[in-house]
């Protein structure tokens, strides 16, 4: 089961890398339900206990759990242009009874130059993608300053 929600062209503003300014834009946000096996590598099958992300940037609200609902945020440029000490905050509404749920994940500092997407996972509690009414994704710095955001149509 896979639900694909797309958002386009959200301006994240200038970010600094050395002395250069770069405008980073969110091109798409896709939402997937991913199981533990989606992240398991061949090394783990042969006894290596450590998870290797290889060429993926993966952030989770509970780093000890892999399975969950992942917001895959795709940018127009490499994620190495984003500042260090950055977080993603995800707001979701699954029912009026539960209201707005908020989750925060730290984006790892190890990033690969050619990667332009991040896997941001809600793993601390089950979120049924079929019941997802609205969502909002924000990239924030360590001072809770919003660097860029994207939301579903229904969030408005």
Q: Is 153 helix (H, G, I), strand (E, B) or coil?
A: helix
Written as six digits, the tokens of 93 are 């509404």
Return the pLDDT at 108.
85
Strand-strand pairing, 117-122 and 57-60: parallel
Number of domains present in the structure of the chain:
1
Q: pLDDT by residue for the chain (156 residues), tens digit each?
A: 444 443 433 445 444 444 344 577 778 899 999 988 777 777 767 766 666 666 788 899 998 899 999 999 998 888 888 888 889 999 999 987 888 999 999 988 777 777 888 999 999 999 988 889 999 999 888 899 888 889 999 987
Return the pLDDT at 21.
45
Return the pLDDT at 102.
95
CA-to-CA dists, residue 88 to 44, 71, 117, 119, angstroms: 28, 10, 13, 10
Residue 151 domain boundaries: 2-155
Are 98 and 91 within 8 A, CB to CB? no
Are 137 and 120 within 8 A, CB to CB? yes
For the entire predicted model, the pTM comes to 0.80
């Amino acid at each position: 089961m896979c639900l694909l929600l797309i958002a386009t062209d959200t301006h994240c503003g200038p970010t600094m890398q050395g002395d250069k300014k770069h405008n980073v834009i969110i091109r798409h946000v896709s939402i997937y339900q991913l199981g533990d096996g989606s992240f398991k590598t061949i090394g783990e099958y042969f006894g290596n206990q450590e998870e290797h992300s290889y060429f993926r940037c993966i952030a989770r609200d509970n780093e000890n759990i892999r399975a969950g609902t992942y917001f895959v945020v795709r940018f127009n440029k490499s994620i190495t242009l984003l500042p260090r000490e950055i977080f993603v905050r995800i707001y979701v509404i699954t029912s009026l009874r539960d209201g707005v749920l908020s989750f925060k994940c730290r984006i790892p500092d190890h990033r690969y130059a050619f990667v332009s997407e991040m896997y941001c996972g809600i793993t601390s509690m089950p979120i049924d993608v079929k019941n997802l009414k609205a969502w909002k994704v924000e990239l924030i710095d360590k001072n809770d300053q919003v660097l860029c955001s994207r939301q579903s149509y229904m969030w408005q």
